[in-house]
Amino acid sequence: MMELQVSRRLLRVWQRNLLVYRKTWKIAFVPPLTEPLFYLTAFGVGLGGMVGTLAYGGSPVGYTAFIAPGMLAINIMQSAFFENTYASFVRMYYQRTFDAMLATPLTIDEVITGEILWGASKAVIGTVLMMAVVSLFGLLSYPYALLLLPAAFLGGLAFASAGMVCTAIVPTIETFNLPIFLFITPMFLFSGTFFPVTNLPGWAQVVARALPLTHLVELCRSLALGRPSIGALAAVAYLAVWNVVAFPLALRGMRRRLVR
């Protein structure tokens, strides 16, 4: 087992990122507020009329209500993944922020853990904003839907760690295109976001169920619609296991990259 060198001091790294985020909140708030408006209008109103209702867990669901939780899950994935790829890479490589931190009593594990926690927190902030908009459409079933917040943190951690694993290995910032086109984009389209996974051919369903977004979508949908399911519990278990694997991988990779 890998020895983890962390103390509460890692919150200082998290606070540094929050401080910078608060300076740019007016811009940072735009995507999570406008995206649901655009998506729900385009897909819900435009496409929804043609699709009608879908069967979910044995009972019918309107198309707009079906894709709204998918959108929340996509936002969680993207906020966390982009934060711990592009943004972390800029801090690490171009701004040398990590080098400066490592000349203080902070450990490398604290710096990286703080970054990952920040990535997950950013996913939660985005989820709060998005939920506000989606609620205006009356698409969230409260109070059950409040559990979307811890779900966003759990899913955020999963994609934050995955992003940090990429940051630990990419030679240049352009290389992030690879995981984005091979990992993020396929999940965006095929993880039960805009149509049920069961519409896919059998082999593709197997692939889709191996991917983390599929489970996060399942979890968000169950919580948003207020319909507890075995699938949602399985999704929590899946994401927990993903974190247990990906987080140490991210730490190990970043130690290898930064300690020289």
Partner 1 sequence: MSSAVIETDNLRKSYGSFTAVNGVSFSVQPGECFGLLGPNGAGKTTTIRMLYGFTPRDSGSLRLFGLDCDGAWRLIKDRIGVCQQDNNLDPDLTVRENLEVFAAYFNLSKATVRERVANLLRFTALEGREQSGVRDLSGGLMRRLVLARALINDPQLLILDEPTTGLDPQSRHQLWSRLEELKAQGLTILLTTHYMDEAQRLCDRLVIMDQGQILVEGAPRELIRRHLGDSVIEVVAPCADLRRMLVERGLPHEDLGQRLVIYSGNGDDLYRELVAEHCREGCMLRPATLEDLFLRLTGRELRE
Does 100 bind partner 1 (CB under 8 A)? Our answer is yes
27 is a site residue for partner 1 (CB under 8 A): no
Least distance to partner 1, CB of residue 79, Å: 18
115: closest CA among 148, 151, 147, 82? Answer: 82
Report d(CA 212, CA 155) in Å as an integer.
Answer: 8
Asked if 259 interacts with partner 1 (CB under 8 A), we say yes
State both tokens at 85. 């790829």
Site membership for partner 1, residue 41 (CB under 8 A): no
256 binds partner 1 (CB under 8 A): no
Instruction: Considering only the stretches 16-24, 69-77, 191-199, 209-217, report the one whose residues sit in contact with partner 1 under the rule CB under 8 A.
Output: 16-24
| CA-based torsion, 223, 220, 131, 127: positive or negative | positive
257 binds partner 1 (CB under 8 A): no
Measured from the CB atom, the residue of 78 and 97 that comes closer to partner 1 is: 97
Pairing mode, strands 53-56 and 59-62? antiparallel
By CB under 8 A, the count of residues binding partner 1 is: 20
Of the candidate residues 34, 104, 141, 199, the single one contacting partner 1 (CB under 8 A): 104
From 2, 4, 20, 240, residue interacting with partner 1 (rule: CB under 8 A):
20
- Integer Cα distance of 191 and 213 in angstroms: 6
* Binding status of residue 16 toward partner 1 by CB under 8 A: yes
Q: How far apart are CA 70 and CA 188, in angstroms?
A: 9
233: left (phi over 0), alpha (psi -120 to 50) or beta: alpha
Per CB under 8 A, 26 contacts partner 1: no
Which positions from 79 through 98 interact with partner 1, judged by CB under 8 A? Answer: 95-97
Estimate the crossing angle of helix 212-224 against helix 230-258, to 10 degrees.
140
CB 133 within 8 A of CB 37: yes
The only residue of 103, 143, 171, 174 in contact with partner 1, by rule CB under 8 A: 103
Distance in angstroms (rounded) separating the CA atoms of residues 116 and 250: 9
The CB-of-240 to partner 1 minimum distance in angstroms stands at: 31
Residues that bind partner 1 (CB under 8 A): 9, 12, 15-16, 19-20, 23, 95-97, 99-106, 259-260
